Amino acid sequence: MKISVNKTRLQKEIDDLALITEAVPPVVTRVLFSESDLRGRAFVKNLCREAGLVLREDAVGNIFARWPGADKKLPAVVTGSHIDAIPNAGKYDGVVGVLGAIEAIRALQAAGFIPKRSLELIIFTSEEPTRFGIGCLGSRLLGGVLSLERAAALRDRDGKDLQFWRAQGGCQGALDSVKLPKDCYAAFVELHIEQGPILEAENIDIGVVEKIAAPSTLRLELTGVGGHAGATLMLGRRDALLAGAEIALAVEKAATTTGSPDTVGTTGVFRVEPGAVNSVPCRVWLEIDLRDTLVKTRDAALGQIETAVKEICTRRKIEFTMERLNVDSPAICDAQLVATTEAVAKKLNFSVKRMISRAYHDSLFMAQVCPTTMVFIPCLKGYSHRPDEFSSPSQIEKGVRVLAAVLAKIAAS
């Protein structure tokens, strides 16, 4: 079976979706259930309908688009990713795995393939943590990793909860209906840009993911004492920003001293109140991302950061609250599925490398549901989560061809 990908059509769809943004292009920003996110969802659902796929949505807004197979009793083969985008993002993260999956299905349809198993695309809700500070909201609930109580307690920075935003998104039904039963799918394969420099640097076409790193997130609120910048003397100040700055440096120290090259720590949110040049900062909010491929070193660094927070705030007489938003385990990808994907890529005469994903994705939580792996394609200098994120049409085409061939191989069995 010859699989022909229409890379011109796919690139136009990627470009068109990138124009649906809260920011000025080429910046892409689509935050969960914002006006731009809802328009982006409508854009993708229309493409699915045009491809003849059967649509449904669950109670948290995960979108499912199915190409029914000949044997409805067999577990389906599934692929997918996300289209929400953090502020100041690019147009390929997640989107390649959604629009590329639609193109893979169209290519199989054009080739006359008749699936025995159904093929399904999932557009996951809120892979990015922008709205609630926790990533992969939709896939966490699908995999049963996030409790219903924890989900109901989620709040954005304005205090609006998940129920409010579900209503904005038109979601219906109870959250307890979202969780998927174990092995309800035969396999999950996610196509994604690498978000790292390895494939490009080594001139490799395709990465096949064997393991996905373990993420964790801390949220802190620090409360000091404000005052006039001129009239409040330095001796005895309780400056919340300075405590936060020390904590950010402690994150860097913890991440660089574990002995593991894969430990990374980022203080990605640092908000200051009142935010006036002539006022001593009285309140600070921080969100800290800490990851590693090894739970032992990740958890050791996490404990080191939490200890540092207590020491710094006690010494500076700063009140604080500290919350672990998530502490996740790594995912080990299915060995047989990895081998199958690698073999398919080689059969297509593409160079292949088995990889670790240091970024986490919805695949991390789909691994709780069914055999899972990821297909990586190169991206320019490893850039991601920025407007100059880029993967060429030819690189994307190779990824889509691999995805389509893997889906077809499993769906035919």
Q: What is the mean pLDDT of residues 136-148?
A: 97
Q: What is the pLDDT of residues 221-280, one digit of tens each?
A: 999 999 999 999 999 999 999 999 999 999 999 999 999 999 999 999 999 999 999 999
Residue 104: band (very low, low, confident or very high) from pLDDT cuts 50, 70, 90: very high
Quick one: pLDDT at residue 172?
95
| C-beta of residue 175 within 8 angstroms of C-beta of residue 152 | yes
Q: What is the pLDDT of residues 63-95, one digit of tens each?
A: 999 999 999 999 999 999 999 999 999 999 999
Quick one: pLDDT at residue 281?
98
Residue 384: band (very low, low, confident or very high) from pLDDT cuts 50, 70, 90: very high
Torsion over CA of 59, 62, 66 and 69, rounded to 10 degrees? Answer: -80
Among residues 408, 203, 252, 221, the alpha carbon closest in space to that of 321 is found at 221
Quick one: pLDDT at residue 31?
98
Share of the chain above pLDDT 90, in %: 99
Angle between helix 95-110 and helix 7-18 axes, rounded to 10 deg: 150
Domains in the chain (CATH in brackets) are: 7-213+330-411 (3.40.630.10), 216-327 (3.30.70.360)
Among residues 392, 402, 381, the alpha carbon closest in space to that of 195 is found at 381
Residue 314: band (very low, low, confident or very high) from pLDDT cuts 50, 70, 90: very high
Q: What is the pLDDT of residues 340-359, one digit of tens each?
A: 999 999 999 999 999 999 99
φ, ψ (nearest 5 deg) of residue 42: -65, -40
How does the average pLDDT of the chain come out, rounded?
97
φ, ψ (nearest 5 deg) of residue 291: -140, 160
First to last CA, the chain: 15
Identity of residue 90: G
C-alpha distances out from residue 336 to 302, 313, 375, Å? 33, 49, 14
Tokens of 359: 């970024």
Torsion over CA of 202, 204, 209 and 210, rounded to 10 degrees? Answer: -70
Gap between the Cα atoms of 362 and 278, Å rounded: 44
Gap between the Cα atoms of 71 and 265, Å rounded: 47
SS (H, E, C) the chain: CCCCCCHHHHHHHHHHHHCCCCCCCCCEEECCCCHHHHHHHHHHHHHHHHCCCEEEECCCCCEEEEECCCCCCCCEEEEEECCCEEEEECCCCCHHHHHHHHHHHHHHHHCCCCCCCCEEEEECCCCCCCCCCCCCHHHHHHHCCCCHHHHHCCECCCCCEHHHHHHHCCCCCCHHHCCCCCCCEEEEEEEEECCCCHHHHCCCCEEEEEEECEEEEEEEEEECCCEECCCCCCCCCCCHHHHHHHHHHHHHHHHHCCCCCCCEEEEEEEEEECCCCCEECCEEEEEEEEEECCHHHHHHHHHHHHHHHHHHHHHHCCEEEEEEEEECCCEECCHHHHHHHHHHHHHCCCCEEEEEECCCCCHHHHCCCCCEEEEEECCHHHCCCCCCCCCCHHHHHHHHHHHHHHHHHHHCC
